[in-house]
Amino acid sequence: MTIPRSEHLATTFSRTWEAVISAEESVARTMWVRTEQARFEQSAMGDGPLADAYDAGVRAAAPPVDAATGAALRFLSAAIGARSVVEVGTGCGTSGIWLLRGMVPEGILTTVDVNAAYQDYARSAFARAGFGAGRARLIRGTALEVLPRLTDGGYDMVSVDADQVSYPAYLEEALRLLRPGGVVVFNNVMVGSDEPDGPLRVPGPAEIAVRELMQRVREDESFIPLLVPVGEGLLTAIRP
Ligand SMILES: C[S@@+](CC[C@H](N)C(=O)[O-])C[C@H]1O[C@@H](n2cnc3c(N)ncnc32)[C@H](O)[C@@H]1O
Query: What is the distance between the alpha carbons of residues 170 and 146, in angstroms, rounded to a whole number?
Result: 11
The reported pLDDT for the residue numbered 24 is 81
The reported pLDDT for the residue numbered 28 is 83
**Is residue 132 predicted with pLDDT exceeding 90?**
yes
Q: Is the CB of 57 under 6 A from ligand 1?
A: yes
For ligand 1, the distance from its centroid to the CA atom of residue 62, given in whole angstroms, is 7
Percent of the chain with pLDDT over 70: 88
- Atom of ligand 1 lying closest to residue 162 CA: 12
Q: What is the C-alpha R_g of the chain?
A: 22
The reported pLDDT for the residue numbered 201 is 80
The reported pLDDT for the residue numbered 133 is 94
The reported pLDDT for the residue numbered 13 is 59
The reported pLDDT for the residue numbered 38 is 73
From 139, 163, 165, the mutation candidate for ligand 1 (largest count of ligand atoms within 8 A of CB) is: 163
Query: What is the distance between the alpha carbons of residues 128 and 27, in angstroms, rounded to a whole number?
Result: 40
Please give the sequence-ordered ranges of beta strands (E in DSSP) within the chain, or none if there are none: 84-88, 108-113, 136-140, 155-160, 178-187, 224-228, 234-238
Q: What secondary structure letter does DSSP report for 192? A: S
- Atom of ligand 1 lying closest to residue 63 CA: 1
As for the ipTM of the complex, it is: 0.99
Task: Select the CATH number that applies to the domain covering 48-238 from these four: 3.40.50.150, 3.40.50.10470, 3.40.50.2300, 3.10.129.10.
Answer: 3.40.50.150
For ligand 1, the distance from its centroid to the CA atom of residue 142, given in whole angstroms, is 9
pLDDT digits (tens, 9 = 90+) for 22-81: 778 888 887 877 787 777 766 766 689 999 999 999 999 999 999 999 999 999 999 999
**Is residue 107 predicted with pLDDT exceeding 80?**
yes
For ligand 1, the distance from its centroid to the CA atom of residue 145, given in whole angstroms, is 14
CA-nearest residue for atom 1, ligand 1, is: 63
- H or E stretch covering 156: strand 155-160
**Is residue 164 predicted with pLDDT exceeding 60?**
yes
Task: Provide the pLDDT confidence category of residue 136 given band limits of 50, 70 and 90.
Answer: very high
Work out whether the CA dihedral 215, 221, 222, 226 comes out positive or negative. positive
For ligand 1, the distance from its centroid to the CA atom of residue 118, given in whole angstroms, is 9
Backbone angles phi, psi at 95, to 5 degrees: -65, -35
CA-nearest residue for atom 19, ligand 1, is: 142
For ligand 1, the distance from its centroid to the CA atom of residue 186, given in whole angstroms, is 12
CA-nearest residue for atom 2, ligand 1, is: 62
Q: Are 92 and 99 in contact (CB under 8 A)?
A: no
The reported pLDDT for the residue numbered 240 is 84
The reported pLDDT for the residue numbered 225 is 97
The reported pLDDT for the residue numbered 193 is 67
As beta bridge partners, residue 138 has 111
Domain ranges of the chain: 48-238
State mean pLDDT over 99-119: 98
Q: Is the CB of 156 under 6 A from ligand 1?
A: no
For ligand 1, the distance from its centroid to the CA atom of residue 80, given in whole angstroms, is 24
Query: What is the distance between the alpha carbons of residues 225 and 240, in angstroms, rounded to a whole number?
Result: 11
Q: What does pLDDT average to over the chain?
A: 90
